[in-house]
Structure 1
Amino acid sequence: MTVPLAGIPLADHEAVYAALEQAGFTDLWSSEVAGTDAFTPLALAAAWRPRLRLGTAITPVFTRGPGLLAMSAAALAEAAPGRFQLGIGASSPVLVRDWNAGRFDEPFKRTRDVLRFLRAALRGETVDEVYDTFTVRRFTLERPPAVPPPVLLAALRPGMLRLAAAEADGVILNWLSADDVCTALAELGERRPAFEVAARIFVCPTEDADHARALGRRLITGYLTVPAYAAFHRWLGRQESLGPMWAAWAAGDRRGASAAVPDEVVDALVLHGSPERCRDQVRRYADNGVDVPVLALLPTPELTAGGAAALAGLIPRLGPGDAGEGR
């Protein structure tokens, strides 16, 4: 499950984490956009639920210096030895430039360089290296983790997918359908042992299809107009279905762009229906090669009206059941 959950104070998440574990969820994965940072919700989980696996999806490679990113990852790996995975990625110009006053230059090279730095630094090595996008002089972690965390790479198109396959411990997919998984994974070639595929999957567990599709259209318009995601979906073959959205967006017609997203695209990218139906749709991702399906729970009329009681009733219906069932 993606954490923290919207509408619940972070200090109150101990009960949420307990309910997720009881329902059979094995992993908690954070994100980092404009809510919490990627590490704090997982640090709490490391203390509260010492059996759950933890992961970031993702920590941007531009918004922290390489050394600070290594320290944050090492601290969480020390708090949750053998249970933490660090997911990194380029993020977007809006988050990096507009919100964090950074430069978003050469994202592929920056991601590759940070990946290479982290692999060395988290092993406790002294890094004294001139990379293409930055230079590090004699950096050594004072507290290298006894169990270096795997480093996963967020990837969309072939170049980043192949980098993940060659140099990372896994890959993180986002904003794709169950059928799209096969297209993405074909770029990885033969996977190395222990290489993991994680995918964030947006889930709106309500039978109010109008609500789910309206919310899905807003999300798709907000995300898939970002150049990297637009290129990703062109590569996946959605030029015809999403072309009118991109044209309206380019013309400054935000409302028209949202209205132009076809139902079939929403239904493929934002799972909705009963919790049981959503769970069955999530299993299709696993059937197509995803090792760690990471649900991102979206608001529903039932959750809004029912509050904590509705959430408590929903979590077991979304979960995989017996915690021993595995991912």
Structure 2
Amino acid sequence: MTARDLGKLAITLPAPFISSRGCVELARRADQDWGYDAIWLAETNGADSFSLAGAIAVATSRITIGTAIVPVYNRSPAVLAMSAATLGDLSKGRFILGLGSSSHAIIENWNGIRFEKPLGHVRESVEIIRQALRGAKTHFQGSLLRSEGFRLGLVPKPPVPIYLAALREKMLELAGELGEGLIVNLFPVTALPKILNAYRRGASKAGRDANQDEVVCRFQVAVTDDVPAARQLVRMAFTGYVAQPVYNAYFRWCGFEAEAIAVADAFGRGDRTASAAAMTDAMIDRIAILGNADECREKLAEFTAGGVTTSVISPIATSREAVEAVFETFAPRRGC
């Protein structure tokens, strides 16, 4: 199996155990040495995605740089447009703005912003950002957001594409209607048809053909002969994630009804051990990529065959060396 059988390959940054400067060095290696197609930057409670993207943009020359994702709630549309324009310029057209609604925990608990009406907030944010990125003076009065008279001092050329992250049907349809690409993660391959159908349905309603759109999926990957230990790392990292209402509903929609309910119930009682245990081995094996290198490639290939166009490698690891080893395993220039 060659790297091209897996579609486009990307790395995710920030990565555990690695400083921001270290992430820039990994980005340089992904660009110059490993031959990856893209770097997709996550944002939770670590590095600011735009700051890191700027450093990466000037340290690389070929590779695509995208956010997957930054939330639409904790920065205004004007600020998001300025950041995207700056990164489009710094990267010489290699930047993609990936946006999403995020979660109650991040937006409301951490940032003190009401996490309400995510569909409307995403829609109105994108409309304002698009006005600005076209170089127009903004003129928008929505039910949630407004912007009047803002104009970018630096209009990016070529225009910065906007990709949208989505979980269930309504947001997937909105992503198809407004986005130029889709960002997804943590689902079984059996859920891929209904994910793509909802996205394409939204595009069709807008008179747009989404069949050639990029579908970016971040995969949690452990290249290991100790799969039980890797499963425990997944539980440690994602039990709280699965317990969050918006993601819990998503996992139920993906076919994990009993598991998702059990995780949330135990988490709500404060029983973290029971909550983690409710993420069964079978569930983890369907949403994460665990095993030896060949087994991991075979699992990724199933998603590619189903319609994922870009596989973003997110290492499940316990050290910097292990993170780099995972990236090296899937590097296109290392003959994977």
TM-score by length of 1: 0.91
Greater Cα offset, 2-11 or 121-130: 2-11
Match of 1:111 in 2: 122
Picking from 165, 175, 179, the partner of 1:164 is 175
Counterparts of residues 291-306 of structure 1 (less than 5 Å): 291-300=309-318, 304=319
- Equivalent in the alignment of 1:274: 292
Q: Tell me if the contact between 1:24 and 1:319 (Cα under 8 Å) persists in the aligned partners.
A: yes
8 Å contact from structure 1 (residues 276, 317) kept in 2: no
Compute the displacement of 1:57 (Å): 0.5
Specify the SS of the correspondent of 1:50. coil
1:132 and 2:143 are equivalent in the alignment: yes
CA distance in 2, matches of 1:87, 1:218: 26
Matched, 1:195 2:205: no
Find the counterpart in structure 1 of residue 327 from structure 2.
315
1:17-50 CA distances to partner (integer Å, 9 max, x unpaired)?
A: 2332322311001011000011122212211111
**Aligned equivalents of 1:233, 1:312: Cα separation in 2:** 30
Separation of aligned partners in 1, 2:78 and 2:24: 30
Percentage of identical aligned residues: 31
Cα deviation code 1:183-206 (max 9, x no counterpart): 211212364365221111111222
> Please, which moves more after superposition, 98-107 or 60-69?
98-107
**1:290 aligned partner:** 308
CA distance in structure 2 between the partners assigned to 1:7 and 1:298 by the alignment: 11
Residue 248 of structure 1 deviates from its aligned partner by 1.9
- The separation in 2 between residues aligned to 1:290 and 1:215, in whole angstroms, is 25
Structure 2 counterpart of 1:15: 25
C-alpha contact 2:328 2:334 (8 A) present in aligned 1? no
- Pairs within 5 Å for 1:242-281: 242-281=260-299
Q: List runs of 5+ in structure 1 lacking aligned partners.
A: none
Q: Secondary structure at the match of 1:55?
A: strand
Root mean square deviation of aligned Cα:
2.0
SS at 2:217 equivalent: strand
1:7 partner SS? coil
2:110 is aligned to: 99
Tell me the residue number matched to 1:121. Answer: 132
Match of 2:55 among 40, 44, 49: 44
Counterpart Cα distance in 1 of 2:86 and 2:124: 21
Q: 1:5 aligns with which of 8, 15, 29?
A: 15
Structure 2 spans left out of the alignment, 5+ residues? 1-10
Shift of 1:314: 4.0
Shift of 1:249: 2.2
Q: Is the 8 A contact 1:28 1:42 kept in 2?
A: no
Shift of the alpha carbon at 1:219?
2.7
Higher mean C-alpha displacement, 314-323 vs 44-53: 314-323
Whether contact under 8 Å (1:169, 1:194) holds in the other structure is no
Q: Which has the higher contact order (CA 8 A, sep 6+)?
A: 2
Distance of 2:101 and 2:150 partners within structure 1: 22
SS of 1:188's partner is helix
Question: What one-letter code is carried by the residue in structure 1 that aligns with 2:143?
Answer: D
In the alignment, what sits opposite 2:3?
A: none
Moved more, 194-203 or 44-53: 194-203
Normalized against structure 2, the TM-score is what? 0.89
CA contact (8 A) 1:279 1:319 kept: no
Q: Distance in 2 between matches of 1:313 and 1:241?
A: 32
CA contact (8 A) 1:152 1:170 kept: yes
Instruction: Please say if residues 86 and 151 of structure 1, whose CA atoms lie closer than 8 Å, have aligned partners that are also in contact.
Output: yes
Question: Which amino acid is 2:328 matched to?
Answer: P
In 1, Cα distance between the equivalents of 2:271 and 2:257?
Answer: 18
